[in-house]
Structure 1
Amino acid sequence: MQKLLVCYKWVLDEQDIKIAGDLSLDTGRAKYKISDYDKNAIEEGVLLAEKHGAGVEALTFGTEAARQSLKDALSRGLDKVYWIGDEAGKQADAFVTANILAAAVNKIGSFDLILCGEGSSDSYSQQTAPRLAGLLGVPAITYVQQLTVVDGRIVAIRKLGDCTEEITVTGPAVISVLPEINKPRIPGLKQVMAAAKKPSEEIKVTDLGLAAEKLTPKVRSTSLKGYSMDRKKVIFKEANPADNVAKLVASLAQEGLC
């Protein structure tokens, strides 16, 4: 294994998003961040690269705001980041995203392994990795909770409900990882400063040779609202904790919840 690529997304930080009285989302003061799921993908790529002496680069697609992600991404151990900032990123669904990423990969060059998060922390469609693999004509392995490379072969443990599945493939392949696969590092001052000296390269969508239909979303978001939950706020105050539990269970059973 000589070269790895990690795909990540620059998204709004959900903790900064406020819900207004009409349930509309107020993102006016929301900052951006690398999607939490993609941080796991970056970490796994860097760990594999460190273990096998490979190079590890990243690719991100979004609006012009994606430029802001470069320093953070590079401080996490990546060698280089390719970024695509285009107006198409505003309404891009998994169809458009996969088309652009695949075209960019073909332009950049071949990789032994491409890693993605299982989903992004904004839309979480879980479609980008499988679509990307299909477009590149390579195997896709999803829901991966453990990943190793043995004698040039990729061994992945997938989490499927109440069981696991072991898959072995010869690269190149596209793999989407679960959050439990690792704990992403927190870059220190030294890593942040070193990131400023690492290379990044912009790729223009217009240079990818994609037809207009490949840049037209299949799914469009017309509105987005917060979820309103009305709680009954029933409090059980029996002296004996066991009595409180019994009343809680009886109340839930009465409402058909258990």
Structure 2
Amino acid sequence: MQKLLVCYKWVLDEQDIKVTGDLSLDTGRAKYKISDYDKNAVEAGVLLGEQHGVSVEALTFGTAAVKQSLKDALSRGLDKVYWIGDAAAEQADAFVTANILAGAIKKAGPYDLILCGEGSADSYSQQTAPRLATLLGIPAITFVRQLSVADGRVTAIRKLGDCTEEVTVTGPAVISVLPEINKPRIPGLKQVMAAAKKPSEEVKVADLGLAAGELAPKVRSLSVKGYVMDRKKVIFKEANQADNVAKLVASLAQEGLC
């Protein structure tokens, strides 16, 4: 194994998004961050890089604002970041995103492993990794909760509903990881300062050789509204707490929730 790549997305911090009276979203004061799911992918890539002494690069696609992510990404142990800041990201779906990422990877690669988060914090379509693998003509392993590399072979434990599956593949491959795979590191002052000296490179969509149809989204978002849950507000007031618990369980069972 010689070189790894991690794909990440620069998204609005959901904690800063406000739901207004008409259920529209107010993002005026929302800051950006690396998607929490992608932080797990970055950590997984950096850990493998440290274990095997190989270079770990990253690739991100977004609007012009994505350039703000470079310092944070590089402070997390990455060696280099390729970034694509283009207005096409405003309406890009998984189809467009995968096409652009694949085009950039073909120019910057090859890579032994390409890691992604299982989904992004904003849309969570879970399509980008499988689409990317198809475009690159390499295997995809999704829902990965544990990952190791030995003797040129990748072994992954996948979480599938109420069971797990062990998969072994010879790279290159695209791996999408679950949040439970690790706990992302919090960069210290030393790492943040060192990030300023690490390389980054801008990639232009126009240089990827993509046709117009490959940049036309298949899905367009017309509007996004907040969700309001209508609670039943059932209160159990029995003196004996065991009776309250029994009634709660019976009520949940009646609703088909347990």
| Equivalent in the alignment of 2:61 | 61
RMSD: 1.1
Aligned residue type for 2:11: V
Per the TM alignment, residue 90 of structure 1 is displaced from its structure 2 partner at its CA by 0.4
The question of 1:9 aligning with 2:9 is answered yes
Q: In 1, Cα distance between the equivalents of 2:148 and 2:187?
A: 24
| Equivalent in the alignment of 1:90 | 90
Aligned residue type for 1:139: P
The question of 1:129 aligning with 2:129 is answered yes
| Equivalent in the alignment of 1:186 | 186
The question of 1:249 aligning with 2:246 is answered no
* Deviation beyond 3 Å, 4+ runs, structure 1: 249-258
Identify which range, 46-55 or 236-245, moves more after superposition.
236-245
The runs of 5 or more residues in structure 1 that have no matched partner are none
| Equivalent in the alignment of 1:72 | 72
The runs of 5 or more residues in structure 2 that have no matched partner are none
Aligned residue type for 2:70: L
| Equivalent in the alignment of 2:156 | 156
| Equivalent in the alignment of 1:203 | 203
Q: In 1, Cα distance between the equivalents of 2:243 and 2:232?
A: 19
Q: In 1, Cα distance between the equivalents of 2:84 and 2:238?
A: 60
Per the TM alignment, residue 66 of structure 1 is displaced from its structure 2 partner at its CA by 0.5
Aligned residue type for 1:23: L
1:12-67 per-residue CA deviation (whole Å, 9 max, x = no partner) reads: 00111111111111111111100000000000000000000000000000100100
Cα–Cα, structure 1 residues 255 and 133, in superposed 2: closer, same or farther, change >3 Å? closer
Q: In 1, Cα distance between the equivalents of 2:71 and 2:257?
A: 47
Identify which range, 220-229 or 232-241, moves more after superposition.
232-241
Aligned residue type for 1:109: G
Cα–Cα, structure 1 residues 233 and 108, in superposed 2: closer, same or farther, change >3 Å? same
Cα–Cα, structure 1 residues 251 and 73, in superposed 2: closer, same or farther, change >3 Å? same
1:169-192 per-residue CA deviation (whole Å, 9 max, x = no partner) reads: 111110101111111000001100
Q: In 2, Cα distance between the equivalents of 1:250 and 1:153?
A: 50
Per the TM alignment, residue 166 of structure 1 is displaced from its structure 2 partner at its CA by 1.3
Q: In 1, Cα distance between the equivalents of 2:77 and 2:42?
A: 8
Per the TM alignment, residue 247 of structure 1 is displaced from its structure 2 partner at its CA by 2.7
Aligned residue type for 1:172: P
Identify which range, 162-171 or 45-54, moves more after superposition.
162-171
1:192-221 per-residue CA deviation (whole Å, 9 max, x = no partner) reads: 010011110000101111111100000000
Per the TM alignment, residue 253 of structure 1 is displaced from its structure 2 partner at its CA by 4.7
Aligned residue type for 1:147: L
Q: In 1, Cα distance between the equivalents of 2:45 and 2:255?
A: 47
1:58-109 per-residue CA deviation (whole Å, 9 max, x = no partner) reads: 0000100100100000000000000000000000000000000000001112
Cα–Cα, structure 1 residues 186 and 257, in superposed 2: closer, same or farther, change >3 Å? closer
Aligned residue type for 1:33: K
Per the TM alignment, residue 163 of structure 1 is displaced from its structure 2 partner at its CA by 1.5
Q: In 2, Cα distance between the equivalents of 1:8 and 1:173?
A: 17
Identity of aligned residues (%): 85
Trace 1:18-37 onto structure 2 (pairs within 5 A).
Answer: 18-37=18-37
Q: In 2, Cα distance between the equivalents of 1:22 and 1:205?
A: 37
Q: In 2, Cα distance between the equivalents of 1:212 and 1:127?
A: 21
SS state of the match for residue 168, structure 1? strand
Per the TM alignment, residue 111 of structure 1 is displaced from its structure 2 partner at its CA by 0.5
